[in-house]
């Protein structure tokens, strides 16, 4: 039985492949690099455990709980220290705890009386009903005021997307905000009433979802999934061409420097948007009833394939068909981000760092976007008497800084931490990772890319798109995306067993 191809061994691809394998569907995972996990990177060195991508998984869905259980990782799961619940936002050039209750909001130093009154008025602000797409900045100013944007939402957007609230789209980047306004007429009302519906669905809001990691960091999850998948994972294997035939899918590329050509029942693309744009994708219009009726897809459809030699085919001619143009996905913005992990002696840091971390608004004038108090969050992240602090630089705020040499990144970070946390002396541990293209930005107009993805799946049945460029950028979003696409693939294969269901009348 031919397997399903999964392109990309990040957490989405691994979750999809593992879920399919558990359902008895054979899979083959193609990964261009020499490792699995994508941006998930954990390093144990000199008594420190450094995370360079995400630091936690949010348990927002039962699918995440099930994946951990099925992978046999429940005993290695770590929940955060209960004392590390506090989150800080910088104002007046120092970290101030975010209020955790309504009364705390009224007494916090984070906002002026004017800003607090604006929030209290929010339930009475008329909802926007004209259907126009709105930026996060415009939405927040309209409902909560300028100060709330500059001193809270800007910091949140930098911490989540490394993005710009003036560019990010509410319906694309924070769809639940728009949905709350549309349904309840107010964010505050919607937060209260919407909690009941989430409970019925078994879902948890991200701001309230339990966080967890593993004893040796998040890398434990992709490494374990790879071990469970065994020989199904092929590293150092790049896919350059996909062709849908009447019999299924042909995958072509290179594996360890040699040409690759394999046949599959379906394909899951779980890579990045900019790599998707580089793929050559063709479908056999003459042989497949689905394709023969698939016209009118606009920019997705390009010129016919004139019968070029297929890679690895010894010069034989590839089937005639149509090429689908994927170049538009190269327009999706991925700003650069650098992760800077520093260790310090406990006595050299004045701030207690007893919390999750701090977010930093642009108006405060610091170079780092925020810092996670890693060793306060989970045990064994630093040697006894030391702290681990994970900071991020770059994003849409200062993209030019992310590519600086490691020494300069460490110096910039240390200087900001001196002011913010009272750090003295030099770090006892340092490690930097640069991501030239870090996080896809769901900016204004992003809906057209999602629409093209849906059109692409219609034009090429058996091709499935999943991952952070489509289904949400958080680690939990990516896991759920992988599990969900596995369900879609299983349904497709089941329908394919009945020809009457495989093709429309």
Tokens of 269: 């693309």
Is 78 contained in some domain?
no
Asked if 493 and 469 sit in the same domain, the reply is: yes
Asked if 307 and 355 sit in the same domain, the reply is: no
Is the CB of residue 250 less than 8 Å from the CB of residue 310?
Answer: yes
Is the CB of residue 291 less than 8 Å from the CB of residue 278?
Answer: no
Is 347 contained in some domain?
yes
Question: 3-state DSSP call for residue 344?
Answer: strand
Asked if 447 and 322 sit in the same domain, the reply is: yes
Sign of CA dihedral 35, 333, 471, 260: negative
What is the CATH number for 152? 1.10.3110.10
How many domains in the chain? Answer: 3
The torsion angles phi and psi of 270, rounded to 5 degrees, stand at -125, 35
- CA–centroid distance for 36 within its chain: 15
pLDDT attached to residue 427: 97
User: Nearest-5° angle of CA 326, CA 330, CA 336?
Assistant: 155
Tokens of 443: 């900016």
Tokens of 36: 């699995």
pLDDT attached to residue 313: 42
Is 497 contained in some domain?
yes
Is the CB of residue 184 less than 8 Å from the CB of residue 48?
Answer: no
- Enclosing domain of residue 348: 335-435
What is the CATH number for 23? 3.50.50.60
pLDDT attached to residue 292: 36
pLDDT attached to residue 274: 97
pLDDT attached to residue 505: 37
Is 283 contained in some domain?
yes
Q: Which of 396, 274, 416 is nearest to 337 (CA)?
A: 396
Asked if 323 and 417 sit in the same domain, the reply is: no
pLDDT attached to residue 286: 47
403, 435, 467 - which closes a domain: 435
Asked if 339 and 317 sit in the same domain, the reply is: no
What is the CATH number for 357? 3.90.660.20
Residues of the chain with pLDDT under 70: 195-196, 198-207, 285-321, 499-505
Asked if 351 and 259 sit in the same domain, the reply is: no
**pLDDT tens-digit profile of 340-354?**
999 999 999 999 999
**pLDDT tens-digit profile of 61-70?**
999 999 999 9
**Distance (Å, rounded) from C-alpha 221 to C-alpha 466?**
19
pLDDT attached to residue 203: 61
Asked if 258 and 303 sit in the same domain, the reply is: yes
pLDDT attached to residue 198: 63
Asked if 151 and 241 sit in the same domain, the reply is: no
Tokens of 392: 């991020």
**Distance (Å, rounded) from C-alpha 424 to C-alpha 16?**
46
Asked if 234 and 188 sit in the same domain, the reply is: no
Is 69 contained in some domain?
no
pLDDT attached to residue 21: 97
Asked if 361 and 267 sit in the same domain, the reply is: no
Asked if 448 and 325 sit in the same domain, the reply is: yes
Is 388 contained in some domain?
yes
DSSP annotation string for 175-208: HHHHHHHHHHSSHHHHHHHHHHHHHHHT---TTT
Q: 467-490 burial, b if ≥16 CB within 10 A, otherwise e?
A: bbbbbbbbbbbbbbbbbbbbeebb
Asked if 428 and 460 sit in the same domain, the reply is: no
Is 79 contained in some domain?
no
Q: What is the pTM of this model?
A: 0.89
Is 100 contained in some domain?
no
pLDDT attached to residue 447: 97
145, 172, 201 - which closes a domain: 201
């Amino acid at each position: 039985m031919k397997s399903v191809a999964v392109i990309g061994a990040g957490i989405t691809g691994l979750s999809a492949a593992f879920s399919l394998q558990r359902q008895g569907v054979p899979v083959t995972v193609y990964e261009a690099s020499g490792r699995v996990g994508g941006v998930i990177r954990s390093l144990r060195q000199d008594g420190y455990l450094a995370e360079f991508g995400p630091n936690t998984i949010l348990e927002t869905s039962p699918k995440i709980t099930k994946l951990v259980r099925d992978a046999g990782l429940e005993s290695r799961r770590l929940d955060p220290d209960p004392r590390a619940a506090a989150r800080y936002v910088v104002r007046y050039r120092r970290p101030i705890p975010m209020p955790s209750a309504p009364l705390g909001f009224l007494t916090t130093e984070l906002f002026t009386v004017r800003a607090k009154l604006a929030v209290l008025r929010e339930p009475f602000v008329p909802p926007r009903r004209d259907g126009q797409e709105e930026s996060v900045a415009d939405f927040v100013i309209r409902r909560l005021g300028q100060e709330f944007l500059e001193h809270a939402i800007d910091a949140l957007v930098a911490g989540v997307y490394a993005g710009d609230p003036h560019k990010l789209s509410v319906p694309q980047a924070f769809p639940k905000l728009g949905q709350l306004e549309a349904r309840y007429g107010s964010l505050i009302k919607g937060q209260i009433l919407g909690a009941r519906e989430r409970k019925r669905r078994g879902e948890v809001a991200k701001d309230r979802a339990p966080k967890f990691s593993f004893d040796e960091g998040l890398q434990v999850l992709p490494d374990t999934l790879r071990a469970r998948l065994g020989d199904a994972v092929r590293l150092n294997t790049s896919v350059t061409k996909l062709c849908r035939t009447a019999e299924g899918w042909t995958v072509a590329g290179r594996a360890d420097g040699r040409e690759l050509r394999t046949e599959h029942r379906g394909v899951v693309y779980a890579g990045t948007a900019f790599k998707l744009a580089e793929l050559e994708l063709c479908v056999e219009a003459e042989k497949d009833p689905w394709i023969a009726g698939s016209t009118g897809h606009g920019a997705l459809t390009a010129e016919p394939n004139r019968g070029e030699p297929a890679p690895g085919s010894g010069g034989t001619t590839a089937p005639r068909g149509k090429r689908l143009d994927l170049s538009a996905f190269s327009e999706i913005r991925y700003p650069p981000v650098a992760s800077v992990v520093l260790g310090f002696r406990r006595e050299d840091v004045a701030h207690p760092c007893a919390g999750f971390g701090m977010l930093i608004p642009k108006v405060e004038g610091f170079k780092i976007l925020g810092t996670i108090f890693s060793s306060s969050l989970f045990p064994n992240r630093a040697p006894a008497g030391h702290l681990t602090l994970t900071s991020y630089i770059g994003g849409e705020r200062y993209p030019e800084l992310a590519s600086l040499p490691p020494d300069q990144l460490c110096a910039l970070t240390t200087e900001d931490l001196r002011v913010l946390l009272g750090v003295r002396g030099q770090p006892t541990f340092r490690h930097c990772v640069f991501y030239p293209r870090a996080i896809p930005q769901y900016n204004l107009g992003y809906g057209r890319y999602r629409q093209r993805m849906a059109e692409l799946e219609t034009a090429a049945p058996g091709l499935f798109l999943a991952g952070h460029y489509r289904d949400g950028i958080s680690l939990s979003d990516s896991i759920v995306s992988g599990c969900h696409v596995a369900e879609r693939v299983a349904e497709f294969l089941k329908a394919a067993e009945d020809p009457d269901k495989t093709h429309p009348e």
